[in-house]
């Protein structure tokens, strides 16, 4: 089944229901909104325009846009004609973009005016690129103008019938261990994940406000469940930490029932004074869904109390969609657990010998099921390394309890070996995050003369707060075994974040602070 069939069905069932709303101008792209019938028609027009340009089944087309309605239109138009979307994060610079365009062998890129500057900078280094489709309010030389393409095309198009394993999108990993890898995700992965996600949050005619980058797998899932459930997806450019009113006003004005967030955004929103929050009516908010970095329990409970809503965490990766596990809305979550595996998904915990460990023991999380990627694009060695007996190695350390609840402890590569003991940075970060003055923190391992490695903490404080290194260390000593307590604490105004999932870049901090314990 083609994922674009979801849009065709919804346009028949709820033709006048609002499907997409972009309330503000984003970059050079004006505000707009579409009903389901209007959205399906403009998707058909763009799909026919792409076919007219010679784009055919299995061709890769890069989408390099900020959050906007045209990104959703491109996703479904490419799916309808059997082309494969190559998702580019809107904040990628020239080197990242050049690598992905060449690696995915694209001939066409869909771009806005701001990111056109990046494309023009590298155009001579991407020999296959021969078509640039420009999204925005004004045409530019040497580009094909999106508005003209859809204006001149027919709105009659039926989604191509494709098998479940047919490629839908190539999502590139964060490149934390070298060049990013392109995870080839089939139609079935998001059809399956979207159906499970919609069922688990009881989604139906929701008003979903999104501030997460739409190039991220997490938002592709939200986009799918939105269309599937006849909901309205309200698209914002991003979350602005220094201007929370931008987001709060939309939550209030559109009576949002679902809000997409991540741990960083929740941390900033938790710090908003109650007198500011009281200016906005957010009483309709039913659920906040989160994915990406692990969610500390204290941050989640504080957010639920402050916003009088339920937080649902989705766990997964670029290679699996974020629906490996979650808490269904009808179950109460357990502290520290990201939920139970999705129906039809087999999750196991393996040791270093690739043997399943008993419940409660720690090992690597491996996954098998319809939501797992098909392969890494043009990288058979990495594909072979990632799979064993049909199970995908996530690289995450975790455990399962007797109730089949999954606990994600940390990334395998981030575990700190302190004198023979394993220290999991996420555990220490969760403790530090509970300190009332802390806004955000990261814990990394650095060389130690006697222990091999030892943990240090890098912290940003809430606005107006002051704290000392000794204060944080003493706080940790009351809650952690001695070998887990950070040996040093460093304060800074902000932490480095990835362009994929807005996760703190521990590898950058490890390099920056690698000599911090040397005498």
For residue 496, give every residue at least 6 positions away whose Cβ sits within 8 Å of its Cβ, in sequence order, or none.
Answer: 504, 505, 508, 509
470 assigned to some structural domain: yes
Buried b / exposed e along 28-41 (16+ C-beta atoms within 10 A): bbeebbbbbbbbbb
Domain membership of residue 443 as a residue range: 415-512
CATH number (domain holding residue 485): 3.30.300.30
Measured CA to CA, the distance from residue 365 to residue 393 in angstroms comes to: 7
Q: What is the pLDDT of residue 180?
A: 86
**Could you say which DSSP state residue 434 is in?**
T
463 assigned to some structural domain: yes
467 assigned to some structural domain: yes
Q: What is the pLDDT of residue 128?
A: 97
504 assigned to some structural domain: yes
Q: What is the pLDDT of residue 175?
A: 54
Q: What is the pLDDT of residue 376?
A: 97
Q: What is the pLDDT of residue 263?
A: 85
Tens digit of pLDDT at every position of the chain (519 positions): 999 999 999 999 999 999 999 999 988 899 999 999 999 999 999 999 999 999 999 999 999 999 999 999 999 999 999 999 999 999 888 988 999 999 999 999 999 999 999 999 999 999 999 999 999 999 999 999 999 999 999 999 999 999 989 999 999 986 545 678 999 999 999 999 999 999 999 999 999 999 999 999 999 999 999 999 999 999 999 888 888 899 999 999 999 999 999 888 898 899 899 999 999 999 999 999 998 777 888 889 999 999 999 999 999 999 999 999 999 999 999 999 999 999 999 999 999 999 999 999 999 999 999 999 999 999 999 999 999 999 999 999 999 999 999 999 888 889 998 987 889 999 999 999 999 999 999 999 999 988 889 999 999 999 899 999 999 999 999 999 899 999 999 999 999 887 665 678 898 999 999 999 986
Measured CA to CA, the distance from residue 408 to residue 324 in angstroms comes to: 11
Q: What is the pLDDT of residue 257?
A: 99
Which phi and psi angles does 349 have, rounded to 5°?
Answer: -115, 120
Can you read off the two tokens belonging to residue 474?
């003493």
CA-based R_g, the chain, Å:
23
Place of tokens 């939501």: 371
489 assigned to some structural domain: yes
Half-sphere exposure of 242 (CA within 13 A, CB side): 2
Can you read off the two tokens belonging to residue 328?
């269904």
468 assigned to some structural domain: yes
Q: How many distinct structural domains can be found in the chain?
A: 1
- Please say whether the beta carbons of 315 and 322 come within 8 A: yes
Q: What is the pLDDT of residue 142?
A: 95
168 assigned to some structural domain: no
Helix (H) or strand (E) holding 469, with range, is helix 469-477
Measured CA to CA, the distance from residue 304 to residue 351 in angstroms comes to: 36
465 assigned to some structural domain: yes
């Amino acid at each position: 089944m083609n994922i674009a069939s979801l849009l065709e069905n919804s346009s028949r069932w709820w033709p006048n229901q609002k499907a997409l709303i972009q309330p503000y101008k984003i970059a050079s792209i004006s505000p707009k909104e579409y009903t389901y019938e209007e959205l399906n028609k403009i998707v058909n027009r763009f799909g026919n325009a792409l076919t007219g340009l010679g784009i055919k089944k299995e061709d890769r087309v890069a989408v390099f846009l900020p959050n906007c309605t045209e990104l959703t239109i491109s996703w479904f138009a490419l799916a309808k004609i059997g082309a494969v979307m190559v998702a580019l994060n809107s904040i990628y610079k020239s080197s990242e973009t050049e690598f992905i365009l060449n690696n995915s062998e694209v001939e066409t890129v869909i771009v806005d005016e701001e990111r056109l500057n990046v494309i023009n900078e590298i155009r001579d280094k991407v020999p296959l690129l021969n078509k640039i489709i420009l999204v925005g309010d004004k045409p530019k030389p040497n580009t094909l103008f999106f508005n003209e393409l859809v204006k001149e095309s027919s709105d009659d198009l039926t989604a191509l019938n494709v098998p479940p394993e047919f490629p839908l999108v190539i999502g590139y990993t964060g490149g934390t261990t070298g060049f990013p890898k392109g995870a080839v995700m089939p139609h079935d992965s998001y059809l399956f994940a979207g159906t499970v996600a919609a069922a688990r949050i009881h989604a139906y005619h929701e008003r979903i406000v999104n501030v997460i980058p739409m190039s991220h797998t997490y938002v592709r899932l939200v986009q799918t469940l939105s269309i599937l459930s006849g909901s309205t997806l309200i698209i914002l450019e991003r979350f602005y930490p220094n201007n929370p009113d931008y987001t709060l006003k939309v939550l209030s004005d559109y009576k949002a029932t679902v809000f997409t967030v991540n741990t960083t955004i929740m941390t900033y929103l938790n710090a908003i004074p109650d007198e500011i929050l009281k200016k906005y009516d957010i009483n309709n908010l039913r659920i906040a869904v989160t994915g990406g970095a692990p969610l500390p329990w204290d941050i989640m409970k504080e957010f639920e109390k402050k916003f009088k809503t339920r937080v649902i965490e989705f766990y997964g990766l670029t290679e699996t969609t974020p629906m490996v596990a979650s808490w269904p809305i009808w179950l109460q979550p357990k502290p520290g657990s990201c939920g139970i595996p999705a129906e039809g998904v087999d999750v196991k915990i393996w040791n270093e010998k690739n043997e399943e460990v008993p419940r409660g023991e720690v090992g690597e999380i491996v996954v098998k099921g319809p939501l797992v990627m098909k392969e890494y694009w043009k990288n058979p060695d990495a594909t072979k390394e990632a799979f064993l007996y049909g199970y995908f190695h996530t690289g995450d350390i975790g455990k399962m309890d007797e109730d089949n609840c999954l606990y994600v402890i940390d990334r395998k590569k981030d575990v700190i070996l302190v004198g023979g003991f394993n220290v999991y940075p996420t555990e220490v970060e969760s403790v530090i995050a509970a300190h009332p003055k802390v806004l955000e923190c990261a814990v990394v391992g650095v060389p130690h003369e006697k222990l091999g490695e030892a943990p240090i903490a890098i912290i940003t404080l809430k606005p107006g707060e002051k704290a000392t290194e000794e204060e944080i260390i003493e706080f940790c000593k009351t809650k952690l075994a001695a070998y887990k307590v950070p040996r040093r604490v460093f304060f800074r105004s902000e932490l480095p974040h990835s362009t994929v999932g807005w996760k703190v870049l521990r590898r950058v901090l490890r390099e920056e602070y690698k000599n911090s314990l040397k005498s």
